[in-house]
Every structure is written in structure tokens, then in C-alpha cells.
């Protein structure tokens, strides 16, 4: 094997700041997200690496997008203002009704 895997695991997806997450989880807080979206605030830091192979993360600020639902889970899209990379952070799952 010519390439050694990194010893420190990398996190995939955007790095959303703690104030936009629910306490004790990695799910997005809908109320604070909508507030940031309406006011035009940044919600996190871009972790997209350049395709040139430098291995450095972009580090630009993420702008929030309008949330949508996919497969019973709320998704919160982000767009980097520096590199233009788009990613989505997951919110809480929609509770299913029990019969």
C-alpha cells in the first residue's frame, strides 16, 4: 500500500457552529437557523478541501439556505462564500406516528 490512511479521522460535511445546534446533539436547531438565514448571518466554517491535493480546508464562512425534508429528515443546506461549495447539515428526524 503506497498511501497511509490518516490517523486522525476526518469529519465529512460542514462544520456548523455550536449555537446553531441542539444541546447535546449534532442536529440543527431550526429556530436559530431560520433567524440566521433571515438576518444573513454565517452559520459555520467550510471544511471542503481543494481538488489540487493540498489537503487544506477552505475555511470560508458558510451561509445558511432554506431547509427541506428528505426521507423523513430535515436538511439544512449551506453555501461557502469563498469557494462556493454546497453541503447540507442534518436536523432532527421527523417522528413517525405509531398505530
Q: What is the pLDDT of residues 41-92, one digit of tens each?
A: 999 988 887 666 667 778 889 999 999 988 888 899 999 988 888 888 888 7
For the segment 2-26, the average pLDDT, to the nearest whole number, is: 67
In this predicted structure, the answer to whether residue 98 has a pLDDT above a threshold of 80 is no
DSSP H or E run through 86: strand 86-93
Structural domain containing residue 79: 15-93
Number of domains in the chain: 1
Residue 40 lies inside a defined structural domain of this protein: yes
Residue 45 lies inside a defined structural domain of this protein: yes
Evaluate if pTM is beyond 0.85. no
Q: Does residue 88 contact residue 75 with C-beta atoms inside 8 Å? A: yes
Residue 41's nearest CA partner among 23, 10, 15, 65 is 65
Residue 20 lies inside a defined structural domain of this protein: yes
Q: Does residue 20 contact residue 41 with C-beta atoms inside 8 Å? A: no
Amino acid at each position: 500500500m503506497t498511501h497511509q490512511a490518516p490517523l486522525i479521522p476526518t469529519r465529512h460535511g460542514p462544520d456548523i457552529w455550536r449555537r446553531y445546534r441542539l444541546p447535546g446533539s449534532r442536529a440543527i436547531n431550526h429556530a436559530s437557523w431560520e433567524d440566521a438565514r433571515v438576518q444573513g448571518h454565517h452559520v459555520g466554517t467550510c471544511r471542503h478541501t481543494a481538488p489540487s491535493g493540498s489537503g487544506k480546508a477552505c475555511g470560508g464562512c458558510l451561509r445558511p439556505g432554506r431547509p427541506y425534508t428528505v426521507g423523513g429528515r430535515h436538511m439544512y443546506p449551506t453555501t461557502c462564500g469563498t469557494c462556493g461549495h454546497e453541503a447540507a447539515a442534518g436536523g432532527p428526524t421527523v417522528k413517525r406516528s405509531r398505530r
